[in-house]
Structure 1
Amino acid sequence: MTIQPGDRLPEIPLQRIREGVETVDVHTLFGGKQVVLFAVPGAFTPTCSERHLPGFVEKFDAFRQRGVEVLCLSVNDPFVMKAWGESQHVPEGLQMLADGNGEFTRALGLEMDASGYGMGTRARRFAMFVDDGVVKQLHVEAPGEFRVSSAEYVLDNLPA
């Protein structure tokens, strides 16, 4: 079942690289904060690299001015996420999170089968606004689309 607004995020750790690989729990990432989490099917893939992540890089300061942190998630390993972030000139503070085995994504009910592209199970393209670990808004793209999870759409639809 897909997570819905009003639901608390599952307590499944994710990974990131700072001074090495870190495992970070959901409470650390979302507790007491307003956060936009957006997910992409794959680092270095066309729409993800040409439109999705660049939109959040471009609008990062606008989110921060609203008091909202921004996190990017993909079913990739943390080394890939770090390299992708560097190649995309991700600003400090926009966290690149790895869900290497897709456990967090599956717990959200937002996985997709990309095995037809040789990519296995991946995250659907989505964005969510989370307040203190509780989903307040969820924007899931229809297959092959890129609209409701864009930085512009999410920023325009944040609560006042």
Structure 2
Amino acid sequence: MSIAIGDQLPDVNIFEYVAEGDETEGIKVWRLPDLVYKKKVLIVGLIGVFTPVCTNSHIPGYVEAYDHFHRAGIDEIWCISVNDPFVMAAFARDTGCGDKIRMLSDGSGELADHMGMTLDLSDRGMGVRSDRFAMIADNGLVVDLLREDPGCFCYTDASTMLERLEGVLQQN
């Protein structure tokens, strides 16, 4: 069963490569409910980092729109993918995310599996991945969710989510 609007995010661990200044702190393990506690978070799910759409279109749109999301009440923007924390950190550097987008690893696909959002790309050499999605979670409750059809990048872009965010805020 897939996660839906009105559902709580699952209680799973996600991973993040954290570096402070010149001293690398390493991989941090976070419980998802702890990370979303008392926050309004925009979560962008990618099929895989360094793929053409994700690198050239999906994430750059969110980097450019960061200030708009922040002014609209989003506390943090997260990018989650079935990649390891080191790859997520490299992707953040290469896409110029800085402190605008938090790169989180669902390395084993546990989150994608719990949300019913797995995509099997084994025939393309990529294994089981996450579907491409965008969601808004408020204190862990899913208040908006868009999920792309396989192979599409049609409506999980930053401009669509900004429009939807305004609608969600008007309803609450």
TM-score (norm 1): 0.97
Distance 2:155 2:49 in 1: 19
- State the partner residue of 1:31: 37
Among 151, 155, 167, the alignment partner of 1:148 is 155
1:77-92 matches, cutoff 5 A = 77-92=84-99
Larger radius of gyration: 2
| Gaps in structure 1 of 5+ consecutive residues | none
| Gaps in structure 2 of 5+ consecutive residues | 19-24
- Helix, strand or coil: the match of 1:71? strand
TM-score (norm 2): 0.90
How big is the shift at 1:93?
4.0
- Helix, strand or coil: the match of 2:88? helix
Give 4+ residue runs of structure 1 displaced > 2 Å after superposition.
none
The size of the alignment, in residue pairs, is 160
Deviations 1:1-59 (A, max 9, x none): 00010100000010001121000111222111111101010010010101011111111
Distance 1:135 1:144 in 2: 24
- Helix, strand or coil: the match of 1:157? helix
Amino acid at match of 1:54: P
1:1-160 matches, cutoff 5 A = 1-18=1-18, 19-68=25-74, 69-158=76-165, 159-160=168-169
- Helix, strand or coil: the match of 1:67? coil
Amino acid at match of 1:77: D
Distance 2:47 2:17 in 1: 19
Amino acid at match of 2:38: G
Amino acid at match of 2:17: I
Percent identical among aligned pairs is: 39
Amino acid at match of 2:96: H
Q: RMSD of the alignment, in Å?
A: 0.9
Amino acid at match of 1:43: V
Contact 2:80 2:103 in 1 (8 A): yes
Distance 2:41 2:127 in 1: 28
Deviations 1:42-93 (A, max 9, x none): 0100101010111111111111112202000000000000001000000314
